[in-house]
Structure 1
Amino acid sequence: MINEHQLVKDCLKGKPIAQKALYEHFSEQMMGVCYRYTKSVTDAEDVLQEGFVKVFHYLGQFRGEGNLGAWIRRIMVTTAINYLKKNSPYQYDLSFNSDHQGFMHPVSPDNPEMTLDAKQLVDLVRQLPPGYQTIFNLHAIEGYTHVEISAILGIHEGTSRSQYARARNLLITWLQKENENPKLVHYVRS
């Protein structure tokens, strides 16, 4: 177990061994955060690297009042969102066109016979269109409210709510299909 308070102090003094320790302690967990928002390991690694640059740049602003891991996670999420906004493969219109409408009907949730592990869920979430994926991650995983999401993404609160509901319904549809046929045919994005 590391002493986060001392580690932050040593990092602020510019001690390379402390910086390496901080990176090694949090990088695997933060890679998972970055990967949830991107569509490739390479992109997730880019976000992770950019995120840690910001962590070390702003470490002096960490007051030590909360959990260091949560503080770093928030930086990684913000970095991932900014990465999505500025990289053309991820630029998207959150209003989505009618090509996705067939997947957005309400579905009865929670089939008790369905079993799913965390990796399967992450894999399914990563198949969502980028806008759905981003909003689902921010709300369901990170715990942001729709008001916060609307501010982060520059969209209306109602758009956040509807995109989250559509993402959730799409995931439920996929889970139901997977339960019927374990060889889920992956959603093909246009």
Structure 2
Amino acid sequence: MNELQIIAGCKEQKREAQRILYEKYARRMYGICLRYSSDHADAQDLLQDGFMKVFAHIGSFQEKGSFEGWLKRIFINLSLESLRKKKAMFQFSDDIQNVPDVVDESTEDSQMYKLSEVELLKMVQELPVGYSTVFNLYAIEDFSHKEIAEMLNISEGTSRSQYVRARQILQRKVEQYIKERS
């Protein structure tokens, strides 16, 4: 079954098509959920809720863009909604004084390669919620600061400063981790 056939089957609420769709995308969507949640149980709940939402609204997919992009948007929005409901929402500041426009990436990038994906994910999850959310949206999901600002109802400057601060903290965490492992 190709992707268009799977989507058509899901629009007709065929269980086999839904199972195939779930199996095809669950791992990637779980990764998104895990980036925005505090633990595996929360991520699993978001994954299940996300697929329920996908199956309920798959009829709205217009087949004009990437289906995976459409899915990702649902899971990201669901994850952000979950953060809002938990009142774990972000404490943002527009104060961008003493925040450099550029982070030294040469050291950070060379250090990052020494970490496993799990280790890096754990470090990102340890960031304050606002920092980790903006970091994920910008660095991982590839949203612009303008899009992030609109999604989170913050200014573009706040998005930029949160991202830079998140990178600075991660850089220090990575350096400390590497130092401890050496």
Q: What's the TM-score once normalised by structure 2's chain length? A: 0.87
Q: CA deviation at 1:39?
A: 0.5
Residue aligning to 1:101: none
Kept after mapping to 2: 8 A contact 1:107/1:172: no
Q: Cα–Cα, structure 1 residues 84 and 108, in superposed 2: closer, same or farther, change >3 Å? A: same
Match of 2:106 among 102, 106, 110: 110
Give ranges in structure 2 of 5+ residues lacking alignment: none
Match of 2:90 among 89, 92, 95: 92
State the secondary structure of the residue aligned to 1:181: helix
Q: CA deviation at 1:130?
A: 0.8
Identity fraction in percent: 38
Residue aligning to 1:47: 46
Query: For the residues of structure 2 that align with 1:47 and 1:85, how far apart are their CA atoms?
Result: 13
Kept after mapping to 1: 8 A contact 2:103/2:164: no
Query: For the residues of structure 1 that align with 2:143 and 2:104, how far apart are their CA atoms?
Result: 24
**After TM superposition, which residue ranges in structure 1, 4 or more long, deviate above 6 angstroms?**
104-107
State the secondary structure of the residue aligned to 1:168: helix
Count of residues paired in the alignment: 175
**Aligned CA-pair RMSD:** 2.2
Query: For the residues of structure 2 that align with 1:139 and 1:181, how far apart are their CA atoms?
Result: 29
Q: CA deviation at 1:107?
A: 6.5
Q: What's the TM-score once normalised by structure 1's chain length? A: 0.83
Query: For the residues of structure 2 that align with 1:11 and 1:181, how far apart are their CA atoms?
Result: 50
Q: Cα–Cα, structure 1 residues 113 and 84, in superposed 2: closer, same or farther, change >3 Å? A: closer
Give ranges in structure 1 of 5+ residues lacking alignment: 97-103, 184-190
